[in-house]
Amino acid sequence: MMDKKTFAVHSNAAITAIGTYVPERILTNAEMEKLVDTSDEWIVQRTGIKERHIAADNQFTSDLCFGAIDNMIDRYGVHITDVDYIIVATSSPDAVFPSVASQVQAHYGIVNAGAADIQAACAGFAAAIQLANGLLLSGAHRKILVLGAETLSKITDYSDRTTCILFGDGAGAFLMEASYNGQGDVAAVYTKTDGERGHLLYRSSLASAIGEHAIQTNGYIVQNGREVYRWAISHVAEGIQQLLERSGYTTNDIDWFIPHSANMRIIESLCEKTGFTPQQTLSSITQYGNTSAASIPLAIDEGLKSGIVKPGQLMLLYGFGGGLTQAGVVLRWSL
Ligand SMILES: CC(C)(COP(=O)(O)OP(=O)(O)OC[C@H]1O[C@@H](n2cnc3c(N)ncnc32)[C@H](O)[C@@H]1OP(=O)(O)O)[C@@H](O)C(=O)NCCC(=O)NCCS
């Protein structure tokens, strides 16, 4: 048994299992045409989205987390009762508190774990990996469940055609563990926030203004799509370059580029600006829409299931969105 000090010095963070879940109900573009004045052609051309999965009325973000964790246990046979920290990235928790992470702790009877939700919108999953990585590297924790999970359908205004076509529900889970062999999976991290642009994409709660900007108070996701788009293709592209520089790798070294699946046009523009090719890029946008904190694990899992993601490959994960905030991670996939 290593003492704590030795553990802290030699520990590293490894991803040891993944699981995902999406609700059964599918909302197609054809059904969207019945809800708002839109068309399949417009949605596909502007966003690349064909359908999204929508939670049942009695199904909440915690339920989707349970689905993703059960899927992980089924596939990898991992034990999670000895997990010592649970982080859930979400913008659509069942309640503000207790956290979704607390509900995960209770559901699985994980008796000695800390638990917290983090809210970094669509950057949430990458931000949660960064936090888990830091906790594992410091020696403070040894086995962490990291989840990105959303029921955005519950906070989407289905009378607003500029937003309702975009969002869907889903969940993804990583198990991250301290590795004693000196081989960590996370190679580099990067974060950046433009809080002065926060009013461009928000879900309101108590206040009716963000800084100087009056906002709607209906509790739905509200956005200035055009401005968010502009920010994404300029500032986010720059952030991705910064992360690459930090990692010491080039686009040629990275096997898979996995940007947040905001929409296909943003992904294509990010590829053009950063030098990643569409063939190097994984997304979950076509079948799942924008699932915010869940979009990156859903995209990785699609790649795993189709056999193109392999152990030893380098990945660049990059989340961005409400805040406006960005978080990115370069990691070596080991599953
Ligand atoms: C939302 C988004 C797809 C809209 O596309 P766009 O090309 O910017 O469209 P605009 O807002 O300029 O609107 C163009 C026209 O389409 C119309 N329109 C908007 N939504 C529509 C819809 N669902 N169906 C049909 N027409 C629509 C607009 O009313 C406008 O009509 P007008 O020219 O008669 O005024 C695009 O702005 C976008 O992708 N933004 C980023 C959003 C995002 O990803 N947010 C999450 C980030 S994490």
Q: Is 261 in the pocket of ligand 1 (CB under 6 A)?
A: no
Assigned CATH class of 4-179: alpha beta
Q: Is 246 in the pocket of ligand 1 (CB under 6 A)?
A: no
Sign of CA dihedral 33, 170, 284, 267: positive
The answer to whether residues 90 and 150 touch, using CB atoms and an 8 Å cutoff, is: yes
What pLDDT is attached to residue 131? 97
- What is the token pair recorded at 173? 């889970």
Which is the closest atom of ligand 1 to the Cα of 162? 20
Give distance in angstroms: CA of 299 to centre of ligand 1.
Answer: 24
Which is the closest atom of ligand 1 to the Cα of 292? 48
**Vertex 244 angle, CA 243 and 245, to 5°:** 90
Catalytic residue ranges? 122, 260, 290
Which is the closest atom of ligand 1 to the Cα of 38? 24
Series of mean pLDDT values for 10-residue runs along the chain (335 residues):
46 92 98 97 97 98 98 98 98 97 98 97 98 94 97 97 97 93 83 97 93 93 96 97 97 98 97 97 98 98 97 97 97 93
Instruction: For the chain, give every residue range classified as CATH 3.40.47.10.
Output: 4-179, 186-332
What pLDDT is attached to residue 4? 45
Sheet holding 314-321, edge to edge: 186-193, 325-332, 314-321, 256-259
What pLDDT is attached to residue 180? 72
What pLDDT is attached to residue 185? 86
Superfamily of domain 186-332: Thiolase/Chalcone synthase (3.40.47.10)
Q: Is 229 in the pocket of ligand 1 (CB under 6 A)?
A: yes
- What is the token pair recorded at 291? 């699932």
Give distance in angstroms: CA of 230 to centre of ligand 1.
Answer: 12
Annotate 243-310 with DSSP letters as a single string: HHHHHT--TTT-SEEEE--S-HHHHHHHHHHHT--GGGB---HHHH-B-GGGHHHHHHHHHHHTT---
Give distance in angstroms: CA of 223 to centre of ligand 1.
Answer: 10
What pLDDT is attached to residue 304? 97
What pLDDT is attached to residue 309? 97
Give distance in angstroms: CA of 95 to centre of ligand 1.
Answer: 30
Q: Is 326 in the pocket of ligand 1 (CB under 6 A)?
A: no
Burial pattern 312-335, b for ≥16 Cβ within 10 A else e, equals: eebbbbbbbbbbbbbbbbbbbbeb
